[in-house]
C-alpha cells in the first residue's frame, strides 16, 4: 500500500448548508448564470471559445488562488477525493465550457436558451440513476411543467417557429450545446461526493484553478495562431464570466448542491431563462406576451413543487474505483 493510498481526508466533516440556505444559493447562482450567455456573446465578438475560456479561467484563478493557498492543507486528500476534484474540473470547466461556446457560435441564441432547460432534466436523471434518488411522478410532472414554461417563454406561443438560416451548422451547434449540458449535469452529481469534507468555496477555487492545466496551453496555442483582439465589449464579457459566473456563481451552485438532492436542485435551473427574459424586458425593452407570463408561472410552480417534495439532504456517491 502506497503512502498516497493511506492518506485520509485531513479535515473533519463540515456542516452542510440547510435546505433553506441551499435553495437560496441555487437561486442566486442561476440569477448570475442568466447573464452568462449575453456576456459570452459580447466576448465571442472578438475572441474564439478557446481564448475566451483561457482568459476567463486565468482571471478567475487569480481571484480564487488565495483560497486554495489558504486551504492548502486540504490538498493532502485521499486518492478518491483527488479523482473527484479532477473529474469536476474537467467535466464542468473544460469539456462543458468548450462545447457550450462552440455550440453557441454555430447555433442560434433562441436554440441555446431553449436547450438550457435540458440541463435540469439531465441532472435529475443522473441523480435518479447514480444517486438512486427516488423518482416520483410528482418530480417528473414538475420537471415537465418547468420545461413547458421555458418553451412558452422562448417561443412566445404554442406552435414552434424556426429562425431563418441554420441548416447542418445549426443542428451541429445544437448537438454540441446538448453535449455540454450532459457534462455539466454529471459534474453536478459527482461534486456531491465532496459534501461535508470540503467547503463549497474551496471546491470552486480548486476545480477552477485546476482547469488551467488545460486552458493555459490551449490559450497560448490559439493566441499564437490567431492573435488576440480585444474591445471594451469583449473585455466586459470576459470579466463578467470570470468574476460573477465563475468565482461567485459556481460557489453558490456547489454550495446549494451540498444541501439538496440532485433532482430537486435540477428544478432551479429553470430560473435561468425566466430571469433572462426579465433582463431582456428591462434592458432591451422587449414586450411581454401572455405566453411569457404563463411560462413564468409554470417555472415558479415547478421550482416550488420540487422544493416541497425535498425529503432529505444531499447524498454522497460511492467511491470512485481506485
pLDDT at residue 212 greater than cutoff 90: yes
Lowest mean pLDDT among 64-68, 135-139, 240-244: 135-139
**Residue 295 — pLDDT band, cuts 50, 70, 90?**
confident
Residues 92/185, Cβ–Cβ less than 8 Å: no
Between helices 168-191 and 250-259, what is the axis angle to 10°? 50
**Residue 163 — pLDDT band, cuts 50, 70, 90?**
low
User: Distance (Å, rounded) from C-alpha 6 to C-alpha 146?
Assistant: 46
Residue with the larger pLDDT of the pair 114 and 56: 56
Q: Residue for cell digits 470552486?
A: 204
All three cell numbers of 57, joined, read 479561467
Residue 227: strand, helix, or coil: coil
Using alpha carbons, list the distances in angstroms from residue 178 to 78, 80, 314.
Answer: 33, 29, 26
User: Residue 86's pLDDT is what?
Assistant: 94
**Residue 322 — pLDDT band, cuts 50, 70, 90?**
very low
**Residue 18 — pLDDT band, cuts 50, 70, 90?**
confident
**Residue 8 — pLDDT band, cuts 50, 70, 90?**
very low
pLDDT at residue 2 greater than cutoff 70: no
Angle at 104 between CA 40 and CA 252, to 5 degrees: 50
pLDDT at residue 303 greater than cutoff 60: yes
Q: Which DSSP helix (H) or strand (E) runs through 5?
A: helix 3-6
Residue with the larger pLDDT of the pair 187 and 293: 187
What average pLDDT score do residues 104-123 get? 66
pLDDT digits (tens, 9 = 90+) for 236-249: 989 999 999 888 88
User: Distance (Å, rounded) from C-alpha 146 to C-alpha 315?
Assistant: 24
User: Residue 84's pLDDT is what?
Assistant: 92
pTM reported for the whole predicted model? 0.70
Amino acid at each position: 500500500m502506497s503512502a498516497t493510498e493511506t492518506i485520509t481526508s485531513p479535515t473533519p466533516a463540515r456542516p452542510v448548508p440547510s435546505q433553506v440556505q441551499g435553495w437560496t444559493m441555487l437561486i442566486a447562482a442561476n440569477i448570475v448564470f442568466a447573464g452568462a450567455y449575453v456576456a459570452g456573446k459580447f466576448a465571442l465578438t472578438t475572441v474564439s471559445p478557446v481564448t475566451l475560456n483561457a482568459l476567463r479561467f486565468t482571471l478567475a484563478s487569480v481571484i480564487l488562488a488565495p483560497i486554495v493557498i489558504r486551504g492548502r492543507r486540504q490538498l493532502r486528500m485521499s486518492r478518491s477525493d483527488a479523482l473527484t476534484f479532477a473529474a469536476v474540473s474537467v467535466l464542468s470547466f473544460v469539456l462543458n465550457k468548450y462545447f457550450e461556446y462552440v455550440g453557441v457560435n454555430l447555433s442560434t441564441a433562441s436554440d441555446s436558451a431553449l436547450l438550457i432547460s435540458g440541463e435540469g432534466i439531465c441532472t435529475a436523471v443522473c441523480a435518479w440513476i447514480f444517486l438512486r434518488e427516488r423518482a416520483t411522478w410528482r418530480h417528473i410532472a414538475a420537471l415537465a411543467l418547468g420545461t413547458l414554461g421555458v418553451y412558452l417563454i422562448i417561443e412566445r406561443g404554442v406552435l414552434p417557429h424556426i429562425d431563418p438560416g441554420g441548416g447542418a451548422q445549426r443542428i451541429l451547434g445544437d448537438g454540441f450545446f446538448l453535449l455540454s449540458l450532459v457534462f455539466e449535469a454529471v459534474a453536478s452529481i459527482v461534486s456531491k461526493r465532496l459534501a461535508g469534507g470540503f467547503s463549497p468555496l474551496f471546491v470552486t477555487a480548486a476545480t477552477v484553478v485546476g482547469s488551467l492545466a488545460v486552458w493555459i496551453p490551449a490559450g497560448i496555442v490559439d493566441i499564437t495562431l490567431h492573435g488576440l483582439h480585444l474591445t471594451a465589449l469583449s473585455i466586459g464579457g470576459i470579466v463578467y464570466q470570470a468574476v460573477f459566473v465563475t468565482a461567485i456563481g459556481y460557489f453558490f451552485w456547489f454550495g446549494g448542491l451540498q444541501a439538496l438532492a440532485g433532482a430537486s436542485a435540477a428544478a432551479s435551473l429553470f430560473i435561468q431563462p425566466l430571469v433572462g427574459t426579465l433582463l431582456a424586458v428591462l434592458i432591451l425593452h422587449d414586450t411581454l406576451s401572455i405566453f411569457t407570463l404563463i411560462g413564468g408561472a409554470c417555472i415558479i410552480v415547478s421550482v416550488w413543487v420540487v422544493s416541497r417534495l425535498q425529503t432529505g439532504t444531499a447524498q454522497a456517491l460511492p467511491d470512485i474505483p481506485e
